Structure 1
Amino acid sequence: MTKLPPGFIHEVPQHLARPDVPQDPRTGVPIVDLENYCCGAHGFSALIQTETEGSPPHYTLFDTGPDSRSIIRNIEALKPPIELIERVVLSHWHSDHSGGLLAFLRHRRAHAPNAAPLVADLHPDRPIARGIVPPHVGKVVGRIPADPEFAQIAELGGVVETHAEGHAIAGDTVWVSGEIPRVTHFEGGLPGAVRWVESAGDGNGKGEWVKEEDIMDERYAAIDVVGKGLVIFSACSHAGIVNVVKDAVDRFSRPIYMIVGGLHLAGSDLIERIPPTVDFLANKLRPSPTYVLPMHCSGFAAKVALEEAFGEGCVPAGVGHKVIVEGSPEAENMMHGTTYQ
């Protein structure tokens, strides 16, 4: 219900504007059908639609949420054109981003059997298992649920593509990064993250947990909108959102227009990262982003700090929201000669 900027649309008006919205027979007005609305969960998933003048739109699913149920409920609520989705990109191997992939592939095969094959864009370094060691505990308290296996994805019709390097997709309208350089002194990955490692060829479960806080398989997605700049999708920002932004600006020499996703600043062990992160985005990055949409693992304290720094430029985004970013050739002409840093 929070006020949103122009181009940001809440879920309810999207439903009420659809031609198939249920009507109340008694009063004759549309029903706010909460039984069939979206369901939030601890994860991330965004459907990205990109198009250029004179070309058909491209649809890219960036991450799939944490489980087999929420993504299907949200597909049924929002009714996106699943038959037109060309590619699903997993930002990294953590199940709160990959957990819905197999369910999505099953749903697409059942409800869009004649659709073109779907590419699964994955980092090649899939872990056997990942776990977490909470601060001051000193031992692994649990493993993260298993990510989908390449064979499982292929069995459900996904065309597996592995990419460790950056590459363009969706008719060259979306850039998927390669390894994100770690250049800041205060962004130190995911504290307490560990990975299960076995000897080559073992396959017998004998192995050990090794420290893996950097999560080097993480990737971001970027779209360069004419007259606006880069829209960055950083699903979890284990690399640090400042490292993500620095890499994007260095690579494209373009301003950052919008940052969408998890900033991984939640929790008492990450609280010290919030001030330098907000200071960089609001004061050191020039020009600063027009909008920041902190979601997923960003945390309440980070959202408060970003709102203080950006005002209405810090947008409380969530499941079911639609964001429209339109290019402007006139604005692009005004941007020529500007330095971005």
Structure 2
Amino acid sequence: MPPNLKTVDRLTITFLVDNTIEWMTKLPPGFTQELQQHINQPGHGVYDEEKKVPILDFDNFCCGAHGFAALIETFVEGEEASHLTLFDTGPDSQSLVRNIRAMATPIEKIERVITSHWHSDHTSGLLSFLELWRAKHEPTGQTGLACIVDVHPNRPILRGIAPGPHYDKVLCALPPDPTFEEIEKLGGVLEKHAEGHVVSGDTIWVSGEIPRVTEYELGILGGMRWVAGGESGESGKWISDGLIMDERYAAIDVAGKGLVIFSSCSHAGIVNVVKDAINVFARPIYMVIGGLHLAGPEFGPRIPMTVEFLSKTLRPAPTFILPMHCSGFQAKIALEKAFGEGCVPAGAGHKVDIVGHRADEKHLFSPVY
């Protein structure tokens, strides 16, 4: 039986952290450039009274950073309010909070943060976000407010990278993810979920463990994890951890369109992610968003199979693909060739408005692959 996920009538996405900024490429209807948003944003820059034009403030535009964060707003017709959810928090203490300020994000209305997995390019902005969230509420005198932080319970001590060709010697470690204690100290209310669940007024599905069913999506080569020594006195050590089994995706069902999938790093493989979402919901895929983890020579051989599945094998094919973060230049070229304008060069500062149509439900086909 599929989860009790509500179909939404409107979905708005604002990308707050991504590797890329893109001001000039023509975007499809429903997509808004950062530049255009700032022109219409009160208080951004100064207005030249003599020349009758606003002067942009480049000090308050988004910056790119190696990571991902998206603000998701879901709305169901007939319900009193929408729900604001933050999916991932970027790689550092600066990029997310800077871009939140640049985009005039109503941070005080964010109810929940979802972390896709324990990698610091997706979690390192969490603590600075919670500090800013708390600071926004303190002047109001409101008490009892809390921001839920939705995480996988299996947090590693440390993760490292072992380069090829043998992928067995750790070259460096990623910065440690925020600890449970640090999150709670800053007022985050922890929810630890290893299983799939619905959140944000039942408008967002957060997956559990993603089944690995393809032959070619084998995780991140050289992914390593530090484990502590045992009680018998043996020392800690690095072990192989390329599958990143704590990774989760998010899905939203938009009326008359289908599923919008957020897979911010796709260590499980985006084909595995899409197949799981279809198996869970039996709904067509409207949009795929996030890092597809196809950058670098070791992932190159996966690109043709991935593009073939998304554009030809899967029917109906997704209307839009937004390859971001770790997708890589070659993957973007291949997807643009297959999807044309349906492959959108999204980046930090872009906004996407998706309006559902209940009457169009009868025209949707059950997906097959």
Same fold (TM > 0.5): yes
Alignment-derived partner of residue 192 in structure 1: 222
- Partner of residue 217 from structure 1, selected from 222, 229, 246: 246
What is the CA–CA distance in structure 2 between the aligned matches of 1:76 and 1:190, rounded to whole Å?
34
| 1:100 paired residue number | 125
Give the residue type in structure 2 aligned to 1:184: T
Is 1:18 aligned to 2:47, yes or no? no
- Residues 281-312 of structure 1, C-alpha deviation per residue, up to 9 Å, x if partnerless? 00000100000000000000000000000000
Equivalent residue, structure 2, for 1:48: 72
Cα RMSD (Å) of the superposition? 1.5
Could you tell me which residue of structure 1 aligns to residue 147 of structure 2?
A: 118
1:75-86 equivalent positions in 2, closer than 5 A: 75-86=100-111
SS at match of 1:282: helix
Is 2:65 aligned against 1:33?
no
- Output the CA distance in 2 between the equivalents of 1:261 and 1:161: 23
Same amino acid, percent of matched pairs? 59
- The superposition leaves residues 63-119 of structure 1 with CA deviations (integer Å, 9 ceiling, x where unpaired) of 000000001110110011111101000000000000100000011111223372000
Q: Which runs of 5+ in 1 are unaligned?
A: none
Whole-angstrom distance in 1 between the partners of 2:367 and 2:219? 29
Deviates more, 1:262-271 or 1:109-118: 109-118
1:226 alignment partner, one of 255, 259, 262: 255
Which one has more relative contact order, counting CA pairs under 8 Å at least 6 apart? 2
Q: 2:88 corresponds to which residue?
A: 63
CA–CA distance in 1 between the matches of 2:302 and 2:206? 26
Question: For residues 309 and 112 of structure 1, do their structure 2 counterparts lie closer, same or farther at Cα, with a shift above 3 Å needed?
Answer: same
TM-score by length of 2: 0.89
Measured after TM superposition, the shift of residue 25 of structure 1 is 4.2
CA distance in 2, matches of 1:98, 1:271: 27
For structure 2, which runs of at least 5 residues remain unmatched after alignment? 1-23
Shift of 1:6: 0.3
- Whether the aligned pair in 1 keeps the contact of 2:278 and 2:367 (CA below 8 Å) is no
Shift of 1:339: 4.6
What is the aligned counterpart of 1:256 among 285, 288, 293?
Answer: 285
The one-character-per-residue Cα deviations of 1:170-213 (angstroms, maximum 9, x if unpaired) are 101000000000000000000000000113469x9930000011
The structure 1 residue matched to 2:197, chosen from 167, 171, 185, is 167
1:333 deviation in Å? 2.1
Which residue identity does 2:305 align to in structure 1? P
Residue in structure 2 matched with residue 315 of structure 1 by the alignment: 344
Q: Structure 1 8/205 Cα, relative in aligned 2: closer, same or farther at 3 Å?
A: farther
**Matched-pair contact (CA < 8 Å) for 1:187–1:240:** yes
Task: Tell me which of 128, 143, 146 is aligned to 2:173.
Answer: 143
For residue 28 of structure 1, report the CA deviation from its aligned partner.
2.6
Query: Is the CA contact 2:249–2:262 (under 8 Å) kept in the aligned structure 1?
Result: yes
Matches within 5 A, 1:238-277: 238-277=267-306
TM-score normalised over the length of structure 1: 0.97
The 1:151/1:205 distance shift into structure 2, 3 A limit, reads farther
